[in-house]
Structure 1
Amino acid sequence: MTTHWDRIVIGGGYSGLLAALRAQGRGERVLLIEASAECGGVLSPLELGGQIIDAGADSFSTAGHQVTNLLGELGLQDEIEYPHRSDARIIPAHGDAFLIPHGVLGIPSDLSAPEIKELFTPQEIDRALYLDSMPCAPVKNTTVAELVTERLGAAFVTKLVNPVLAGVHGTTADHMLATTTLPDLLAAFEKCGSLVQAAHQVRAHGARPGSLVARLRGGMFSLAQIVEAVLRARGVKFRLGTPVTGLSLSNDNWEISSSTETFTAHSLSICTELEEAIRLTNAVSASEKSLSTSTTLVTVLLSSQSLNDFPLGSGALIEPGGRIIAKATTHVNAKWASVAGQLKTDQHIIRLSYNPDSLPPDKPLRDIARLDLTQIYALFAPEITEMRTVQWINKLHQSPRKTATRVAALEEFAAQRDIELCGPYLSGNGLLGITRDHYQRMAA
């Protein structure tokens, strides 16, 4: 059976849902095809201890206004929840944990802050003040590492920015382009001429002084469910559990094939990870190793009186190279009051993030998580009541210069055939980057 549409959107993650929303808003008849059984991608739920919580992305950045704007358009502005506390730490490979200074992805907003003085020597701070006072030029094909080194010094990359990026994006500053990772910060930087002042200005956009993130009360996963429901109510059709096996262009119409159906459309949007977009289009060689990163998330429910004081605040980012294998941890009920209100006395939900390549192959993940909990939270023989594990494969895109050629070739291929490409490899990782890209495309 063949059906014809104005536009077919391949990929039902957050990028694909927003692409369908844009197309429907233009009056197009839209079909969205998703390989898995549900839409949402990393906006996904899991059940733990009778609660439904996030299995993937658990918050969005408020460094920009785009996500809050979208939530307002969906009538969800009253459902936005801000962290109960924002005192996360960095656990270095060697030494004691320290508070993450206020800033943007490790770039500080105040070089005189007590946390900065504890972490850096007076000489390193003086050098940062000097470097950041120098004239600046527009930032183009520059990594975050190069930008921070030039404006603040290499010590700020090593001690602060890299541990934050490793926990948030699963990579380091030399693998992230500043233009896609820090667009709002760069816009402020090019106006004021100081990286630190730019971080201060961006932080001032946050709804609360101590927080640059927020979420939907009840979980970020509900955003995908709500957008999907809106699309269905407006006539967008879905084919879930339908991997695309091939596509071709003939007489200005696209033919998209699955194992059971064939669809045709005048226009095409490909909203997948970079490697899947390359596979579908054959635009460039798919033989190279993926430069996206994977993450294993372990969420545990446990009972502990010693955790009632929230010893690490809302959680911690963990520098690699020490005894702890996890790269980050979130004390979920410390961070979100709505979760805390649903738990019994002494119950706690903690999430641990792992780089799959760092996991010992001969040791059960439950044992690894138990040992990490012991070391991170100073627990004695923690008893895990429930544990859920989710692996996200190639969901965080790295943006070193060596990916630029492949992305440019894919974009050229798409432009010649009027294909819309969407995804983190173009917009940057995170819900804010994807939503910002959504509004930029709407305005174009």
Structure 2
Amino acid sequence: MSTQPDLIVVGAGIAGLVVALEAATAGASVLVLESDDRTGGMLRRGRLAGVDVDLGAESFAKRTDAVPALVADFSLPLDIVSPRSGPAHLVAPRLGGRWSRLPLPRRTVIGIPADPLAADVVAIIGERAARRAAAEVTAAPVDPTASLADVVEERLGAGILHDLIDPLCRSIYSQPAAAVPLPRLHPKMWAALERTGSLLAAAAEVAPNAPGGTAVGGISGGMWRLADAVETLARERGALVRTGVAAQAVRPEGGRVSVRTDAGELHADRVVVASGPRAAAAVLGVPTAEIDEAATAPIQPAVRLLTAAVTAPDLAAEPVGSGVIVSPDARTAAKALTHIDAKWAWARDALPAGTHLVRLSARADEPAGLDSAGAVAREISALTGARVGRDDIGEIVTTRWRDAVVPAESDAWTATVMDAVTHGIHVTGAVAAGTGLASVIPHARALARELFAAHATPDAAASPVRKES
């Protein structure tokens, strides 16, 4: 801890580890500080039924080539895989107390369809809402600060917003469509909208022709392997990684940057803060009151995931494909379910015969509704239609992420944090780049290259940052 490095990175999630790898490859001396006892952030490994599995992010969006480019540029020993072909489903309440479980449409972007009159879209939103969406209103100017909900409702109508787009946004991004502007949520879709002037035309250009819920990729063996491989290579190239060391404050001091930690004070030429959004604000000295004021919509509670080993025979038929997204109108304890071994062939091949892995994303950070094996069994039964009993539930692992979601109205929130950045202090991660590996990794790579271009070595030249599309 007495080292005086060129760079100190605060936070060893994937953003911090990528910065460390890029900087070390460029020849800089790097020290990474992580307050937790393990690295990887939301790329976290657990073990159920004798198999290593993801307890955090289990896939990445293909809206950019960020993950494949990182793997290829650094020759990381990882295999990128696609989900199996079974579509995910949308669960929603219907009249008479019955629930519908319908496959997600093939050609949509965050639920925005290439063709609103396609049968799989009409099945979910109804013919009337589909006709309204097909008659898109394009006269209004495109406002980059407007929420996704405002843009969709004005152009495509309230029906498709309520029944398809908002449920997907809440489940995938942990934010209601009313709280997030499209440019931050999906830059590629926004660029297509600006170019074409039409949401439908933009979706037709961007949407993959693939089963709903499969426009993602993964790593064979789990996404946690990506963080592990990046850290391993960063260490091999000279980066020092220290766990169990919490940064308390980052300040400019005498032409360098001071990092006060619970283990003493450190100094470096540059510091990159790559921690969770609230932790980043804290070390930069942004008062909590300012953060709360900048978030004009309610700040999201902690993300809570429950992963269970299940032996119910009905799940062998994979009744909801790779999983379900749950409408906010449904009275359930979970907002999403992933049938892990139905989604990923590597998990199916690794598990004992008759054993399945199911993950539930809880609606709030409280145990109500998912506080026992019996409750988990009932929830899985309700969402999938499969018969699942309490005795079918084996080990359950609960994971809480208390600083994972950038608050609603994130542009204003981000501006508040970024105002605290001074010479020699920089910020990356979700607070600066937006949600998801597709956004976080390119931002971290570009920042590191910008900071250490003068250090570039032949090794660095072999790992170019690709332009994201």
- Is the pair's TM-score, using the shorter chain for normalization, greater than 0.5? yes
Instruction: Please list, as runs of the form range in 1=range in 2, the aligned pairs for 1:132-147 lying within 5 A after superposition.
Output: 132=137, 134-135=138-139, 137-147=141-151
* 1:423 is aligned to 2:439: no
Residue 411 (structure 1) aligns with: 418
Taking the aligned partners of 2:315 and 2:362, their CA distance within structure 1 comes to 22
Matches within 5 A, 1:148-227: 148-204=152-208, 211-227=214-230
- Deviation at residue 443 of structure 1 after TM alignment: 7.0
For the aligned residue pairs, the C-alpha RMSD in angstroms reads 2.4
- 1:278-328 deviation digits (Å, cap 9, x = unpaired): 211213444755824421111111112211111111100112343321110
One-letter amino acid of the counterpart of residue 313, structure 2: Q
Mapping for residues 43-192 of structure 1, pairs under 5 Å: 43-76=43-76, 79-94=79-94, 95-102=99-106, 103-132=108-137, 134-135=138-139, 137-192=141-196
1:101-145, Cα deviation, whole Å (9 max, x unpaired):
12112112222311112223433222222225x246444212111
Q: Distance in 2 between matches of 1:210 and 1:317?
A: 9
- The match for 2:395 among 381, 386, 394 is 386
The alpha-carbon distance between structure 1 residues 160 and 67, as it changes in their structure 2 partners (threshold 3 A), is: same
Which deviates more, 88-97 or 216-225?
88-97
Compared CA separation, residues 53 and 233, structure 1 to 2 (3 A) = same
CA change 1:406–1:331 in 2 (3 A) is closer
Amino acid at match of 2:346: S
Q: Quick check: 1:364 aligned with 2:371? A: yes
Residues 139, 186 of structure 1: 8 Å contact kept: no
Give a deviation string over 1:387-417, Cα, whole Å, max 9, x none. Answer: 11111113122332xx544422321220x33
What are the residue-to-residue correspondences of 1:392-403 with 2, within 5 Å?
A: 392-400=401-409, 403=410
Equivalents in 2 of 1:35, 1:84: separation in Å? 37
SS of equivalent residue, structure 1 residue 301: strand
CA 399–356 in structure 1, closer or farther in 2 if over 3 Å, else same: closer
Larger mean Cα displacement after TM superposition, 403-412 or 309-318: 403-412
Residue aligned with 1:117, SS: helix
- Correspondence for 1:338: 346
Shift of 1:215: 0.5
Cα distance in 1, alignment partners of residues 110 and 407 from structure 2: 15
1:278 aligns with 2:273: no
User: Which residue of structure 2 aligns with residue 239 of structure 1?
Assistant: 242
Whether contact under 8 Å (2:377, 2:388) holds in the other structure is no
CA contact (8 A) 2:430 2:440 kept: yes
Q: How many residues align?
A: 438
Q: Which runs of 5+ in 1 are unaligned?
A: none
Q: 1:266: which partner in 2?
A: 269
Residue aligned with 2:159, SS: helix
1:298 alignment counterpart: 306
Compute the displacement of 1:52 (Å): 0.1
TM-score, normalised via structure 2 length: 0.87
Q: Would you say the 8 A contact 1:142–1:179 is kept in 2?
A: no
Cα 1:367–1:394 change in 2 (3 A) is farther
- Aligned-partner SS, 2:419: helix
1:377 and 1:285 map into 2 onto residues whose CA distance is 41
CA distance in 2: counterparts of 1:277 and 1:417, whole angstroms? 16
CA contact (8 A) 1:136 1:190 kept: no
